[in-house]
Structure 1
Amino acid sequence: MEAITATVIGVVGTALFAMFFMQFQHLRQDMAAGFQAAAQDRKALDEKFTGELKAQGHELKAQGHELKALEVRLTDKFTGEIKALDHLLRGHGERLARIEAKLEIEPPAEAA
């Protein structure tokens, strides 16, 4: 009777151990598949993010060129206007100096 009990316990123990080992293998495979899927998802997100960053970089570069062109246009425009205003003011200053000389008026100290 002891031999039968020992045999039954051995068979049941072996079956439980085999079931545990099979479940462990299945769990390991599921975890490996989950990690692989997570790695693929991360790679896809990385590619999408990299693509969006490149697109944003191109857009910013284009906007930088537009800003540079605007800066050049404004600089040219205001440089011309400042030169014209300077020419006008010099003309008025010369006229004022002639008027003061004709009327024999001493220019104010601030004019010097």
Structure 2
Amino acid sequence: MPRKRRLPDVVTIKMPVLTQPRDVFEVVFESEEARKMAEEIVEYIKKNGRMGWDEYKELFPPEKHYLYFRVIKRLEALGFISRGAYHTYILSKKFSDRMEYLGKLWLFKMGKVEEIW
């Protein structure tokens, strides 16, 4: 019986402080190869509406499958994608909701409550 996939409780991302990031995946993934793979996954889901659990075999060569699982796990943990029906992946806006909430917390901390609502 297959074991249940576990997502990490915490995912660390490095925020650049001297320059603005050009791409969101630049902040999330450290390697260029993982960034490109994440971009391909998101483009595939945008084009087809969803990505099946075994469609990675058609997209990526067998030697890249280990990286695929790392990338997909991180994308799902951060909220860029989520599970749809029948173990498919769909795009999610959970990440942007979390960042919006974090921004509101910071405005509250600064005392600019009128800008929150």
TM-score (norm 1): 0.25
TM-score (norm 2): 0.24
Q: Structure 1 or 2: larger helix share? A: 1
